[in-house]
Amino acid sequence: MTRDAVMEGAVRELLSHAHDGVLPIVTVGDPVLRTAAAALTDQLEPRTLEHLVEVMRATMHDAPGVGLAAPQIGVPLRIAVIEDMYPVSEEVATQRERTPLPFRVIVNPRYDDVGSARRSFYEGCLSMPGYQAVVPRAASVRLRCTDLHGAVVDEEFGGWPARIVAHETDHLDGTVYIDRAVTRSLSANDVYADLWADPTPEHAAAALGFDLGTGRGDAS
CATH, residue 44: 3.90.45.10
Residue 219 in this model has a pLDDT that exceeds 50: no
What's the pLDDT score for residue 194?
Answer: 98
**What is the arithmetic mean of pLDDT over 156-176?**
98
The pLDDT confidence band at residue 2, using thresholds 50, 70 and 90, is: very low
Would 167 be classed as within a structural domain? yes
- Residue 179: partners with Cβ closer than 8 Å, 6 or more residues away: 170
Average pLDDT over residues 60-73: 98
| 1 pLDDT tier (thresholds 50, 70, 90) | very low
Q: Catalytic one among 8, 83, 123, 168?
A: 168
**Coil, helix or strand at residue 212:** coil
Asked if residue 66 is part of any domain, the answer here is yes
> Is 216 among the domain residues?
no
pLDDT interval class at 220 (50, 70, 90) = very low
Q: Within a domain: residue 213? A: no
Q: pTM of the entire structure?
A: 0.95
- Which residue range forms the structural domain that includes residue 140? 5-208
Parallel, antiparallel or unpaired: strands 131-138 and 118-124: antiparallel
Report if residue 220 sits inside a domain: no
Q: 88 in a domain, yes or no?
A: yes
* 175 pLDDT higher than 70: yes
In the chain, how many H helices and how many E strands? 6, 8
Report whether pLDDT(93) > 60.
Answer: yes
Interval 68-89 mean pLDDT: 98
- When pLDDT is averaged across residues 121-128 and rounded to a whole number, the result is 98
Amino acid at 39: A
Question: What pLDDT does residue 215 have?
Answer: 54
Q: What is the DSSP letter of 199?
A: S
Q: What is the DSSP string of 142-189?
A: EEEEE-TT--EEEEEEEHHHHHHHHHHHHHHTT--GGGTSEEEEEEEH
Indicate whether 218 belongs to any domain. no
pLDDT at 214: 54
List the one residue out of 162, 143, 176 whose CA is nearest residue 96: 162
What is the total residue count of the chain?
220
Establish how many alpha carbons lie within 13 A of residue 59's alpha carbon, considering only the half-sphere containing its beta carbon. 27
The least confident of 2-6, 36-40, 110-114 is 2-6
Greater pLDDT, 94 or 214: 94
Q: Is the pLDDT of residue 87 over 60?
A: yes
Mean pLDDT for the chain?
Answer: 95
Mean pLDDT of all residues in 46-69: 98
Average pLDDT value for residue range 22-34: 98
Flag whether 154 is in a domain. Answer: yes
CA distance 131 to 191: 9
Judge whether 80 and 53 are in contact, CB under 8 Å: no
pLDDT at position 216 is 53
131-138/101-113 β-pairing: unpaired
Number of structural domains (the chain) is 1
168 is catalytic: yes
